[in-house]
Amino acid sequence: MGDYGVFDIIGPVMVGPSSSHTAGAARLGEMARSLCGGKISEVTFELHGSFAQTYQGHGTDKALLAGIIGLRPADERLPRSFELADQLGLRYRFVPADLGSVHPNTVRFLIVTEAGEHYSITGSSVGGGNVVITDINGIPVSFTGESPIIVTRHKDTPGVISNITALLYNERVNIGNMRVNRHKTSGTADMYLELDKEIDPSVLEKIRALPDMENVLELRCQPDEF
């Protein structure tokens, strides 16, 4: 038995027709955009399962692209996202794909930013407009938008993790969940941190400036609707 509030029953205000295939898809696009820092020049949407089967009828394609260009799920311009993306000069394509044993409503975003960085982000729309990002650049994660996360890529060497956690400790930010993956061939490791609260951008800059850091991504929670 879950705990439901008034606006879990009445709401959200959303562009139809489906909370999972439209509203959830728009949120996934929005989260992928925010992970890449917002400046995107090219996206390939790999659509899996039910997303691949019914994406045109549900407007899943329009919703995903709307999120990528920064529209919220209730934005009435969402059905015109193709036109708006064209105006921005964004290149995009939709490809049905088999992403393996994942949730039926899953998409993988293959993104190229204006700075030329490549990102691979996978997420699923799990019902009622709720979503979860499950993979960022090959690192398994579980980001639902409720707690902020940080994903780092760094040299696989002693001290890196303690430097990061020390910085967070100084800010009195508690870590709720963490995972480290090492890549033996490249000598690098990835770390996924789920935090109890959002950190100041200056702390993020301090983490970026630490020795042996290659890349730091951050995902903030969605702004509260009211």
Judged by the rule CB under 8 A, the positions of this chain that interact with another protein are 1-19, 22-23, 50, 53-54, 56-59, 62, 74, 76, 78-79, 127-129, 226
State the residue for tokens 């899943």.
60
What is the DSSP secondary structure assignment for residue 23, as one 8-state letter? I
In angstroms, rounded to a whole number, what is the distance separating the alpha carbons of residues 164 and 156?
Answer: 13
Report, in Å, the least distance between residue 130 CB and another protein.
11
Looking at the Cβ atoms of 25 and 149, the one nearer to another protein is 25
Q: Which is nearer to another protein, 106 or 188 (CB)?
A: 106
54/181 with CB nearer another protein: 54
Q: Which is nearer to another protein, 12 or 37 (CB)?
A: 12
**Smallest separation (angstroms) from another protein to the CB of 105:** 10
Closest CB 226 distance from another protein, rounded Å: 5
Residue 63 or 141 having the CB closest to another protein: 63
| Rounded distance between C-alpha atoms, residue 23 and residue 123, angstroms | 14
Least distance CB 60 / another protein (angstroms):
10
Give yes or no for a contact between 45 and 107, defined as CB atoms under 8 angstroms apart. Answer: yes
Closest of 206, 199, 217 to residue 163, by C-alpha: 206
E strand spans, 72-155: 91-96, 105-113, 118-127, 130-136, 139-143, 149-155
For residue 223, the minimal CB distance to another protein (Å) is 15
102 phi and psi angles, rounded to 5 deg = -115, 175
Q: Could you say which DSSP state residue 72 is in?
A: -
